[in-house]
Amino acid sequence: QEQDLPIVRLGLLQYGTVNWEAKTIVDEGLDEKYGFELEIVPFAGGDATKVALMAGNVDVTTDDWLMVSRQRAMGDPLVFIPYSTSIGAVMAPCEGDIQSLEDLEGKTIGVAGGPLDKSWLMLRGMASESGMDLAAATTPVFGAPPLLTEKLRQGELDAVLNYWHYNARLETEGYCEVISAQEAARSFGAEGAVSAVGYVMNEEWAEENPDLARGFVDASRDAKEVLAESDEAWERLREMTGAENEEVFQMLKQRFREGIPTSTPTQERDDTAIVYNELAKIGGEQLVGPATEMAPGTFWSGLESGS
């Protein structure tokens, strides 16, 4: 019978954090429970998953709402489903002289993901509210995330704005979070946490396969519940996380759990729209395309009708 189940192809970074949830879905049989079979298609780079979705080789992948909104504005009907609110943050040595956003003035700061990175723009927006031009006041160095982490360790960079799983490792090595993009979101007026990443799928596919799309979202939610409560489930993931020691492993577990979205879909959509407007101001047309507001339907409508 198993063969009869329809397949959902999920394109993922092999060691991406989303993979933890996906593995849990399979291990716990949650996909079968909701009437589909999950096929994980691993890739080595984030760009690859994007290309795979464009080329129609996977049904679901992960990305952020900025990208989804921009593609929608250009006529590509993608939809976004929040996955995690664990977002980028600035890390610096705990003992150092960088304790707040203002302390970054005159410092060299590594920025993962380039000048259009969502977290970077959010922090710039927050800084500008207090009259600081973060891009001008600091020397940003754009580069590959692992390389930047390494450069912080080497002391070549004073601080690094990086993704949360890189930061979790740094936290075990004497580095502290200076400020997180989530704080920026709050400063813009968001009430809850906004998502950093989410599942992305083609709206047409979701409409043609409503049960699959729905089932996938339900399985994801169940998996999060398992990971939130069960330490055993985490043991299965231990190797997959690539944690080099127990401390890192526990930190990753803790941060992952904190990142499970708690807002209602509507609230999160509205919060995100607020943040989007701020980003549109900073990033301009280059970032968001012709639309100055988040494209309607960016958050999958199926979410609100359901849970």
Partner 1 sequence: MSRSRSATAARLLSVALFFLLWHVVSLYVSPRLFPSPWQVATFVLRETESGVLPYHLSITLLRVLAAFVLAMAVGSALGFLMGRSRGADVVLQPWLILTLNIPALVVIILSYIWIGMTETAAITAVALNKIPNVAVTIREGARAMDPTYMEMARVYRFSRVKIYRDVIAPQLQPYFAAAARSGIALVWKIVLVVELLGRSNGVGFQIHLYFQLFDVRAIMGYTLAFVAVMLAVEFLALQPLDRRAQRWRPKQV
Binding-site ranges for partner 1 (CB under 8 A): 13-15, 41-45, 47-48, 50-52, 54-57, 67, 70-71, 74-76, 113-116, 140-147, 149-151, 154, 156, 242, 286-287
What are the φ and ψ backbone dihedral angles of 163, each rounded to 5 degrees? -70, 160
| Minimum distance of partner 1 from residue 83's CB (angstroms) | 18
Contact status, residue 263 vs residue 275, Cβ threshold 8 Å: no
Contact status, residue 63 vs residue 200, Cβ threshold 8 Å: yes
Give the residue with the Cβ less far from partner 1, 140 or 261: 140
Q: How far is CA 10 from the centre of its chain?
A: 16
- Torsion angle of C-alpha atoms 278, 283, 289, 293, degrees rounded to 10: 0
Helix (H, G, I), strand (E, B) or coil at 289: coil
Give the residue with the Cβ less far from partner 1, 150 or 183: 150
Tokens 């954090």 map to which residue? Answer: 17
Give the residue with the Cβ less far from partner 1, 35 or 42: 42
Question: Which of 277, 284, 234 minimizes the C-alpha distance to 254?
Answer: 234
Give the residue with the Cβ less far from partner 1, 7 or 74: 74
| Minimum distance of partner 1 from residue 180's CB (angstroms) | 21
| Minimum distance of partner 1 from residue 42's CB (angstroms) | 5
| Minimum distance of partner 1 from residue 261's CB (angstroms) | 24
What are the φ and ψ backbone dihedral angles of 223, each rounded to 5 degrees? -65, -40
Give the residue with the Cβ less far from partner 1, 48 or 233: 48
Give the residue with the Cβ less far from partner 1, 113 or 259: 113
- What CA–CA distance (Å, rounded) separates 125 from 275? 9
Using the 8-state DSSP alphabet, how is residue 202 labeled? E
| Minimum distance of partner 1 from residue 41's CB (angstroms) | 6
| Minimum distance of partner 1 from residue 14's CB (angstroms) | 5
- Give the count of alpha carbons within 13 A of 150, CB side only: 5
